[in-house]
Amino acid sequence: MEDRETTEKRTIRTKIESLAYGPYGVAREQGQVVLIPRCVPGDEVEARILTVKRNYAIGEIVALLTPSPARQQPPCPYFDACGGCPWQAARYGVQLAAKQKSVEDALGRIGKLSGFELLPILPSTQEYHYRRRVRLHADGRGRLGYYRPFSHELIEIESCLIADAHANAHLRRAREWLKELKTPIQQIELIVGDAAGQIVFAGKAEGRLARGDEAVSSRFLDAHPEIQGLVLSGRRWRRVWGEGKVCIHVADGLVLEIDAELFSQVNRAGNLELARQVVEWGEFASHDRVLELYCGAGNFTLPIARRVHEVVAVEGNPQSIENGRANGQRHGVENIRWVCSPAANAVKTLRQGGEKFSTAILNPPRAGAKGLEEDLAALGVEKILYVSCEPPTLARDLGALERHGYKLVRVRPFDLFPHSYHVEAVAEMVHR
């Protein structure tokens, strides 16, 4: 059966059974799964079927007939219009249970994995105002906001319920800067550092820096000394006014200074717990050689390096490598070999060089780490710690590693993203 838009747009009355890994509630109609956004388990709804796919259908709510006891009134004034936080109508405990189940289901259904310990999900210490990084879309009218669900229609916002209070306090200033710029801007990110009062605005530009925006940004920063720095970047160019780095606290009391626009976990308390778990499960010893793939700017690298003989840290982004190396030097951590390379190329080179490692740390983007399993086994890796933000690719990769001699021991989900369906997880595998 081909995917198709339905012409009849028929309506159904149904009850939501669960939350899917995505912005949907799950119902069943005549044995077929129906995905309906903005629903909560236990809701009884009237829904309109919009699209019929091979294994499921997609609908939309026409009327909420009987609200679920698990439903709450979304406190965000933009909930009905904004595409963010699609689970905000569900009580937080319901969200946590759904995220735990999404990890469990992916590991069993996609990875065909069994016989491991699935530990309870670790909740976020903050249900709201947890994001220290807020990325807002911009348009040609000088507006900043988020997109409507399933569209690129911008909804302008004055504040965000999940954003750090310091970011919210400066959102108006970010909009003022945007309106003064002549350079076409796609988005502006507000990044709050862990040092007191620290905030940087980072804009992503289309094309070149417009004539006059150098002076505009300098004047703007002079007029607003409470803003630490401004960054604009486009294809093959980057310009900074003021200080473009922020401080990020990591494990062991270490502080990284990183370029503000580089990736860092949005949830500061959750990131510390994530790093603590990696260090604890690693059981690192002074003789260990550790391979870290997708190391970023050193979030896990520096704490691990303090415990082991050597870390080979691999990252494809040269700017991240430069930041990581500088932080290692600043803290006097000299047993890290920084390698700027795609992970797949790096592991093949290390294998050809006959290198061996006791432990591998993988922290890939959502696409995962497909195709590395054979090389990791050939590198003599006895333990793998895999940090993932995407249960389906985590399950796929862990299943492939099992077929190359590794056994999944335990998995711990972490909720770093309340009110969204995203979930972080740490998995431990050992060689049989």
- Give Cβ neighbours of residue 283 (< 8 Å, ≥ 6 apart): none
Backbone angle region of 34, left / alpha / beta, with phi > 0 → left and psi within -120 to 50 → alpha: beta
Integer Cα distance of 94 and 86 in angstroms = 13
So what's the pLDDT on residue 47?
95
Q: What is the DSSP string of 24-73?
A: EEEEEETTEEEEEET--TT-EEEEEEEEE-SSEEEEEEEEEEE--TTB--
Determine how β-strand 154-156 pairs with β-strand 144-147: antiparallel
So what's the pLDDT on residue 432?
86
Q: Is the pLDDT of residue 2 over 60?
A: no
Compute the average pLDDT of residues 272-285.
97
- Domain annotation for the chain: domains and CATH numbers: 4-66 (2.40.50.140), 95-126+267-431 (3.40.50.150), 133-246 (2.40.50.1070)
CB atoms inside a 10 Å sphere around CB 172: 11
pLDDT band for position 104 (cuts 50, 70, 90)? very high
Closest CA to 147 of 74, 80, 82, 60: 82
Read off the pLDDT of residues 117-128 as tens digits, 9 standing for 90 and up. Answer: 999 999 999 999
In this prediction, what percent of the chain has a pLDDT beyond 90?
94
Catalytic-residue membership of 247: no
Compute the average pLDDT of residues 204-218.
96
Give burial (CB, 10 Å; 0-12/13-18/19+) of 196: exposed
3-state SS, one letter per residue, for 197-208: CCEEEEEEECCC
So what's the pLDDT on residue 4?
59
The catalytic position among 82, 85, 295, 389 is: 389
CB atoms inside a 10 Å sphere around CB 345: 12
